[in-house]
Each structure stands twice: as C-alpha cells, then as structure tokens.
Chains A and B, each alone.
Chain A
Amino acid sequence: MGKRDYSLLGPDALRAVETGLAAAEWYHTEVPRKVMKELMQRRDGPALRDTALLFGTMIVCAGLGWALWPSLWALPFWAVYGVLYGSAMDSRWHECSHGTAFKTPWMNNALYQVASFCMIRNPVTWRWSHARHHTDTVIVGRDPEIAVMRPPVFFKVIANFFGIFDAITGWGRMLRNASGRLDAEERTFIPDSEQPKVIRVARIWLLIYAATIALAVWMGSILPLMAIGLPRLYGAWHHVMTGLLQHGGLADNVNDHRLNSRTVYMNPVSRFIYWNMNYHVEHHMFPMVPYHALPKLHDLIKHDLPAPNRSIAAGFAEMWPALRRQLANEDYFVRRDLPLGARPYRDDFHAAALGTAAE
C-alpha cells in the first residue's frame, strides 16, 4: 500500500469509501442471543463501587499531596493522583461514552463530563469521533483515533507518555472551540445540530482553567495546577502505555478486529485504572458489553481469537519491534495465529492489507 494519508479529508479517506472498507460489516464471533443479552445487561453496582474508590483515592491523595507540599513526601501522593486523573479518567471517559458504565443514564453522563474535562476531550466532539473509531477501526483516512500512524513518529509517541502532544492539542482545540470555531475535520463527523454544544462546553472549561490559574497566581503556588490541568501531563503515562497496545503494530484497513486489536492480560491495578479495556478485541466486537462483563465475554469467545498477550511487557515485546520495522516498511504488521477451530481470517477480502504481515 505504501504511503498512508491519515487526513479525514484526503485520498485514503475517499478510497476507503469507494472500496467499501468504510462502514463495512465486521467479523464477529457467534454468541447465542440469550447469552449476549445477559452480557449486555447494565448495572450500577460495579461502577458505583469503582467510582467511589476512584474519587475517594483522588481526594485523599490530593489532600495529602497538598498538605505535605513542598516536601518530597508529597510526590508519591501526587503521582497516584496524577495517574487517576490523567489515565483512569481516560477509561472512564471511554466507558461512559458508550453508555455502558452505569445502568442509570445521568450517572453515565455525569462521569462522562468530569472525565472528558480531565482528559481535555470535548465531550461532544469525542462522542462522535469515538463513534467513527468503532465504525472504521484503524481504517486509514476514516478513523480519527489512530494512536500510532505509519511510519511511527517515536518522538511523538514517547512525548505522549507525558501527555505533551495530546494535552497541547486538547487545550488548542478548547481555545479554538471557545472562540466559536470548529476545524474542518471536526465538521466531518459532528452533525451541525451538535456543533453549538462543542462551543458551549469549551467556554465552560476555559472558565475553569482561568479560575484555577487565577487561584495559583493569588496563592503564589503551583498547587492548584497540580490538582487541575497538570495531572493530564504527569499522570498520562499509564493510559498511553495501555492505549498503545490496543492496536499498535497490528493490521490496518481490515474488517476483522482479531487482526487489528489486541487483548492483553493485565495486573489488577492496571485493570482498575483501564477498566478492563485490556479485553480490547472483545470490546470492539461487542461494544455494548459493559466493562465488568468483559472477562466473562473473553472466556466465552477466546476459542475464536488470537491468544492474548500474557502481560503488558509481553504486549510491548510484540508491538515495539513491529513499530520499529514500520519505520522502514510501512506495510509491515504483526499477524497473530488463530487457535485451532477458530473461523479463519478472510484473506481473500483482506488481500491488499495482509500482503506483508509478519510470519
């Protein structure tokens, strides 16, 4: 395929529509309707428990970090607070955008708004961009959420462990939206009727940041910014680490999530922060299954999926060398074997994309 153009308005976007790659029907493992209905059921309990634990820990850590400042003893508390703000909020934003975290809609919406603010992702814009990500997962020119484009720009990837590009882009968009403008790409996936909401949210956020900065100046201290804004930088590393594994080094331009998404077994702390999105093939195949039911779904369909990576380190050991090879060969990707008895990949359908997979 060669050089890729990731613009949503470029030639690859047009080609994806012309060839039927865009808005295509995706492969999914067969699951009996009764079982799937059970898996899709919403519950408030798990998310209430997790949200109480999340905000409770954040309040305690911010309080101790504030009280112990400027002693070095404050740093571990800010480190924990930062990860919960700059990483756990990524998965809360994500799950609530699907409306699957809670059974009660206002609870989903409330957490979605808070998490969107923390991640500097306009809740209106990103609801639509994430819908496109699910329609056209890693389809070049269609998916606005491809984390590592080919060839990978490692400087950018590494800088994003500290939120550098994502946060600056987020704040830039906030300022542009607050001034009453949307860019051309945003207009491709946000309906006209929703665009005023984008601007309204950006203006509210701007006021919050202005108040935080004013408080910091008044106090002559960085502490207000340690609590609001900066954690998006110093606490971003965990969500970037887990997020890169979702699709990094795998196929693009295919219609089978087994080829372009990765399930990774993770430790319980990372799974709490990431809200079980380590079951990423399962999530993309069945986005209506809430995070708390994904382990059960995984057990049910793993016979039809490539073997999961056994740990975050194992995931990186597979992904990182593939990204490095993509520097020289943009078409290179990791193709995982399917277990015996799984329904095979449709190589005929994906011939163009599967030409240069790893053996």
Chain B
Amino acid sequence: MPQWIAACATDDIDEEDVIRFDHGAQTFAIYHSPEGEFFATAGRCTHEDVHLCDGLVMGHLIECPKHNGQFDYRTGAAKRAPVCEALRTYPVKVESGQVFVQVAE
C-alpha cells in the first residue's frame, strides 16, 4: 500500500533547488520549483546511479552532477544525453509546512 511519508519542511529547500531524502532502502530527490511547487523523483540518475541531490536545478530541469544529463523533474522525462531513461516520479503534497512523498511500501 502506498503511504504518505513526511520528507522535509517546505523551508528546508530553497526555491529552484533539490535535497536528498532517504526512506528505508530508497533514496529520493525532493525539488522546490521556481513557482514554489514541490516535486519528488527517484534520487539517483538513471544513467550511472549518481545522487541527483548534488546536481543543479535550472527552472524545471535537474542536471546530474556527474555527466550533465538532464531530466524534467515534474515528469521525469530525460532531456539531455547521456540520460535516455526517464526518472521515476512520486506524488507529493504539502500540509502544514511539511512536504510529504507518496512511497510504495
């Protein structure tokens, strides 16, 4: 059953930035868009397993810190080589200043 898990406070992430969130054996990347919305994707790049939290958020793109591959973090779509495979995305909600991610248990 999917569960909503509290990942962080809304002010833990600057606008146009990303942080890492680990839950059990899973690792996620939580994004704060320039419009103030929050998104969540798998935490590692689909190309070489590198943590995306060290990458650069530019608008709605997250760039992998190792090879500069890019994803649209809203949809997970791969946007720039060397990434070809889309990133998994997760539903997010914000309640009482907390960012929740829906995680499959």
Q: Which residues of B contact A286 (CB under 8 A)?
A: 65
Q: How far is the CA of A125 from the CA of B89 in the complex (A)?
A: 30
Q: Which residues of A contact B63 (CB under 8 A)?
A: 99, 288
**Which residue in A41, A105, A131 is a CB contact (below 8 Å) of B82?**
A131
Structural contact, B66 and A37, CB atoms closer than 8 A: no
B44-63 contact mask (Cβ, 8 Å, vs A): 1 or 0: 00011100001110100001
Q: How far is the CA of A245 from the CA of B51 in the complex (A)?
A: 30
**Which residue in B17, B48, B49, B66 is a CB contact (below 8 Å) of A287?**
B66
Assuming the contacts A23-B48, A37-B17, A42-B58, asked whether A287 and B81 have C-beta atoms less than 8 A apart, the reply is no
Q: How far is the CA of A176 from the CA of B54 in the complex (A)?
A: 39
The reply on B80 being an interface residue by CB < 8 A is: yes
The reply on B68 being an interface residue by CB < 8 A is: yes
Nearest Cβ on chain A to B36's Cβ, whole angstroms: 18
Q: Closest residue of chain A to B65, judged by CB?
A: A288
Assuming the contacts A23-B48, A23-B49, A42-B58, asked whether A287 and B65 have C-beta atoms less than 8 A apart, the reply is yes
Assuming the contacts A23-B49, A37-B17, asked whether A287 and B68 have C-beta atoms less than 8 A apart, the reply is yes
The reply on B94 being an interface residue by CB < 8 A is: no
- A interface, over-half SS: helix
Assuming the contacts A99-B80, A288-B63, asked whether A135 and B48 have C-beta atoms less than 8 A apart, the reply is yes
Structural contact, B68 and A128, CB atoms closer than 8 A: no
Q: Which residues of B contact A50 (CB under 8 A)?
A: none
Q: Which residues of A contact B82 (CB under 8 A)?
A: 127-128, 131
Q: Which residues of B contact A134 (CB under 8 A)?
A: 66-67
Structural contact, A99 and B68, CB atoms closer than 8 A: yes
Residues of A in contact (CB 8 Å), total 21
**Most-contacted residue by chain B among A128, A135, A191 (CB, 10 A):** A135
Structural contact, B48 and A127, CB atoms closer than 8 A: no
In A133-173, which residues have CB < 8 Å from any B CB? 134-135
A182-216 contact mask (Cβ, 8 Å, vs B): 1 or 0: 00000000010110000000000000000000000
Structural contact, A135 and B67, CB atoms closer than 8 A: yes
Nearest Cβ on chain A to B82's Cβ, whole angstroms: 4
Assuming the contacts A135-B67, A288-B65, asked whether A127 and B81 have C-beta atoms less than 8 A apart, the reply is yes
Q: How far is the CA of A105 from the CA of B58 in the complex (A)?
A: 12
The reply on B9 being an interface residue by CB < 8 A is: no
Nearest Cβ on chain A to B65's Cβ, whole angstroms: 5
Structural contact, B84 and A191, CB atoms closer than 8 A: yes
Nearest Cβ on chain B to A111's Cβ, whole angstroms: 15
Structural contact, B84 and A193, CB atoms closer than 8 A: yes
Besides A135-B67, A193-B84, A288-B68, 11 new A-B residue pairs in contact (Cβ under 8 A), listed by A number: A99-B80, A127-B82, A131-B67, A134-B66, A135-B48, A191-B84, A287-B65, A287-B66, A287-B68, A288-B55, A288-B65
* Complex A-B, nearest 9 residue pairs according to Cβ-Cβ distance, in ascending order: A131-B82, A40-B56, A131-B67, A99-B68, A98-B68, A288-B65, A135-B48, A191-B84, A127-B81
